[in-house]
Chain A
Amino acid sequence: MNHDAIRDKVAIVGMGCCKFGENWDKSPEDMIVEAAFEAYEDAGIDNPQERIEAVFCGAVYPSKGTAEVADALKLFGKPVSMTQNYCATGTDAFRFGVFSIACGLYDTVLVVGFDKPKDRGVSGPSAVTAGVRGLPMTPAGWFSLCAAKYFETYGAGREDLARIAVKNHHNGTLAPKSMLKREITVDDVLKAPMISWPFGVYDCCAQSDGAAVAVLTKRELARSFRDDYVLVKAVAIALAENPQSDPSFDFLRWKPNVYAAQQAYKQAGISNPFKEIDIAQVHDCFTLTELLTYEDLGFCEKGSAKDHIANGTFALDGELPVNTDGGLKTFGHPTGATGVRMLYENYKQLQGKADRRQVKNATLALTHNLGGAPQTCGMTIIGTP
């Protein structure tokens, strides 16, 4: 395998993101158009029908599929495809877009991540009953799988998780496009109604509607769009054993995280992620997911997350700010849009356009999604040229 096949070959030259939230008055078309035209404008594209050569979409709850995007943007006569990879759906759509340019086939492509779960009439993901053996299952139930063992092994507890929610709520107040803009306290988190132990309401991200779009081009053309373009360093996806039936699962880490990080760091040439990466947007569907991800991605030693949380390592002014825009916690999680929304934040940060959230001198930024049982992890690393 050639781990250098991707690095620095593809540039992001435009990005857009609609306001995330319970967008009762907006259709998927409305959100896609809002995000895409922001990206066009950002890239200086006024003739997308000519400039965009292929479209890579990601959505988990599409109503029509690829036609939904083609019809909304009137992008016809060119490939439009759609991918699904649980919560890494948006990241995987981006990954295919990157491949399509790195292989030399296209000059400029569009990546569209979107989802509109709030048209389904349920608050939060519905309990799934899969087949005959199917338990009434909830995502909160799945993602709590490691809690008891991790807490017991490393002496962590709900307070450590609560601090993550407090941090992300704070960051979300600084992000114009976030859904929730309210500071909360550790006490609020601990006293909230229980969803699935150890997760109370504030430990869970909400569901929301949203769309985010990226314009990718090959490096050689990037400067024709803008000077402050951003380069793709790594795109990784890894599937892991189902933690519910894997006989060797240790309940202390998410294996997909570990697998994907190995790939991503190899592609980007990173040996010390904590030192080299300046900002990270990680999958905080539940607070424990973010905690385990700190360790699984090598930001800190296994078992030490709670100390780093207490010391503010991952706060906006910490050594490695995580979820600078407030994460899934404050944006909600329109599944197909989330990965691209995270790229939007990193892109803005690397360009120095993150306003009150701006992290100083950021040159290398990571995104991370974890989905399924969980079994899939998607990661991207982008950086300044």
Chain B
Amino acid sequence: MVGITSYGAYVPMFRLPFGAIGAGGRKASGGSGERSVANFDEDSVTMAVAAATNCLEGIDRASVDGVLFASTSYAFKEKQGASLVAKALDLRRDVVTADFADSLRAGTTALRAAVDSVKAGSARNVLVIASDCRVAAPRSALERAFGDGAAAFLIGDTNVAAAFEQHHFIADEIIDVWRTEGAPYVKSWEDRFVVEHGYASNTVEAIKGLLKKAGLTPKDFAKAVYYGPDARSHGGVARSAGFDPKTQVQDPLFGKLGNAGAAFAPLLLVAALEESKPGSKLLLANYGDGAEAFAIAVTEHVAKLWTRRGVKWHLERRAELGDYDKYLAFRNLQPSEFDRRSGQGVSATVHFRDRNEDISFHGHKCRKCGTEQFPFQRVCFKCFGRDNFDEIRLSDRHGKLMSFTFDFFAGSPDPPLIVTTTEVDGGARVYLQMTDASPKEVKLELPVEFTFRKIHEYGGTPNYFWKCTPVRQ
């Protein structure tokens, strides 16, 4: 039996209420509901690391043999995302990495590849992460429909909580939703065409193909979990495929999460697993340049994953972004006095030398006096011993605030910048920005955890480091 042995989800804290978008000179679109919005320091990589960290809670990171990173919105056209994610997660150096990209199906296609490699015996535990932060034109229908988020799964053959049993794939060629190189926004052809000849027909075909191949009927499934571009088209697929939309369909979370692109179906799968019954079956289907469907059997091991911060926890943790201009600033969609992408960018050689500290968030522990310190030192702060340290991972520890300020002068899309000196459990002191927090909740000794974020974007490339954020229960 091969399948999901652990899962994790990540939905950014901010929500953009549709009412805040405004008319922009056109007919007001209004409407109730909201979508998730990545903070200005988040992107598909940082959300992937967050979801994966959640997925790997309590799991020995050295047991992970592979990382498959699926996204349509990864910042680089050349330079792998999976290797960066693996470094941030502090995985083994001999880990197999690959990016799955360019299609909304990338997340589930990566899941199948992971299942195949475990079945083939080339890997025992493969981490699959789907993450997307897609940008649509300001005030467009796509902008309202989209949401940001990430889901992660560990695929293995021991203690499987959800086993992949059958699957059916089809490929199709259609110009429905696309983004060309260098284009800032996702584009779409007319929506009725897209749904009729793209989304609905392909998705239903894949589901029916799966049912036939597996000799199953819709009644055999507790729930159908599948992608949809909007609530109406999503409901239509259930009816066409023979599922009862009221009882048999996983809530697609429109008006709460939004269409999270390559991460959407994977996030819905996490949501379904959070409320699944051991012994039941789930149907997972995804669309994008064709479609694919999976039959998944839930086992008794699923219950022990319910302590994870899943979709439900993340949807409850929310902060409204009342100001649409702030959303535009977060996504670099309006000119500002402080151009976050100007300047020369980081030195690749400095990045290379400091990557264990900056990306894996390693500190030093003196072998002689035990003092923990950050960044790496050649000579110990306390006992002055030379080059006598062990590297320690700080990213999965907690810490507390020793000092803070609210800096209105450091150019930030969301001032003030909260700057802290944080003591990591164990004693290392790190000068860190705080994110996803309000100055109102900041106080000395505040417990914090660590989150991988873009620290700046000078030179137009994302540059990553860790920040602290209040521990939220």
Contact = CB atoms under 8 A, between A and B. Distances in A.
A247 B408 contact: no
A68 interface: no
Contact of B429 (A144, A147, A152, A246): A246
A133 B452 CA distance: 12
Contacts of A146: 403
B235 interface: no
A247 B373 contact: yes
A134 B407 CA distance: 15
Interface stretch (B194-202, B281-289, B349-357): B349-357
Contact of B431 (A135, A136, A144, A248): A135
Contacts of A246: 381, 429
B410 A132 contact: no
B455 A145 contact: no
Given A246-B429, A247-B429, A131 B411 contact: no
A131 B405 contact: no
A149 B444 contact: yes
Given A127-B410, A132-B350, A244-B429, A147 B358 contact: no
A102 B357 CA distance: 46
Nearest to B402: A251
A131 B458 CA distance: 11
B416 interface: yes
Interface in A290-324: none
B416 A131 contact: no
B346 A194 contact: no
Interface string A241-262: 1011111110100000000000
A145 B421 contact: yes
B455 A194 contact: no
A195 B403 contact: no
Contacts of B343: 129
Given A149-B444, A243-B421, 12 more contacts: A127-B409, A133-B375, A134-B456, A136-B412, A141-B410, A141-B417, A145-B421, A193-B408, A195-B407, A245-B374, A247-B371, A247-B427
A196 interface: yes
A132 B429 contact: no
B455 A133 contact: yes
Interface in B413-436: 416-417, 419, 421, 427-433
A149 B443 CA distance: 10
Contact of B408 (A133, A194, A245): A194
A206 to B, nearest CB: 13
A131 B455 contact: no
A194 B407 CA distance: 8
Contacts of A141: 405, 407, 409-410, 417, 419
Contacts of A148: 403-405, 443-444
Q: How large is the interface on A (under 10, 10 to 19, 20 to 34, 35 or more residues)?
A: 35 or more
B428 A131 contact: no
A150 B316 CA distance: 36
Contacts of A144: 405
B406 A245 contact: no
A137 interface: yes
Given A129-B458, A245-B374, A245-B375, A149 B405 contact: no
Contact of B433 (A132, A135, A198, A244): A135
Interface in A219-249: 241, 243-249
B465 interface: yes
B405 A197 contact: yes
A81 interface: no
Interface residues of A: mostly helix, strand, loop or mixed? loop
17 contacts: A127-B411, A131-B354, A132-B465, A133-B354, A135-B419, A137-B410, A140-B405, A141-B419, A144-B405, A148-B405, A149-B444, A195-B407, A197-B406, A241-B381, A245-B374, A246-B381, A247-B373
Contacts of B382: 247-248
Given A152-B444, A247-B427, A248-B382, A133 B407 contact: no
Interface residues of B, number: 45
Nearest to B423: A247
Interface string B450-473: 000001101000010100000000
Given A245-B430, A247-B371, A132 B405 contact: no
B421 A244 contact: yes
A138 B381 contact: no
A132 B461 CA distance: 12
A124 interface: yes
Contacts of B433: 135
A135 B351 CA distance: 14
Nearest to A151: B444
Most buried by B among A127, A194, A247: A247
Contacts of B443: 148
Contacts of A243: 421
Nearest to A241: B381
Given A132-B347, A134-B456, A244-B431, A196 B406 contact: yes
A135 B455 contact: yes
A195 B419 CA distance: 13
A246 B372 CA distance: 10
Ordered nearest first, which 5 A-B pairs have the shortest CB separation?
A244-B431, A144-B405, A136-B410, A196-B407, A197-B406
A247 B372 contact: yes
Nearest to B372: A247
A250 to B, nearest CB: 9
A131 B410 contact: no
A127 B408 CA distance: 11
Contacts of A145: 403, 405, 421
A249 B351 CA distance: 28
Contacts of A147: 403, 405
A130 to B, nearest CB: 10
A105 to B, nearest CB: 34
Most buried by A among B374, B407, B439: B407
Nearest to A197: B406
A131 B350 contact: yes
Contacts of A249: 402, 421, 429
Contacts of B375: 133, 245
Interface in A266-289: none
A131 B347 contact: yes
Contact of B416 (A152, A194, A241): A194
A132 B416 contact: no
Interface string B380-407: 0110000000000000000000111111
Nearest to A196: B407
Nearest to B433: A135
Most buried by B among A138, A146, A245: A245
A124 B408 CA distance: 13
Contacts of B347: 131-132
Contact of A132 (B351, B381, B407): B351
Contacts of B351: 132
A195 B402 CA distance: 20
A196 B408 contact: yes
A287 to B, nearest CB: 14
Contacts of A198: 405
A196 B465 CA distance: 22
A146 B417 CA distance: 17
Contact of B358 (A129, A133, A137, A244): A133
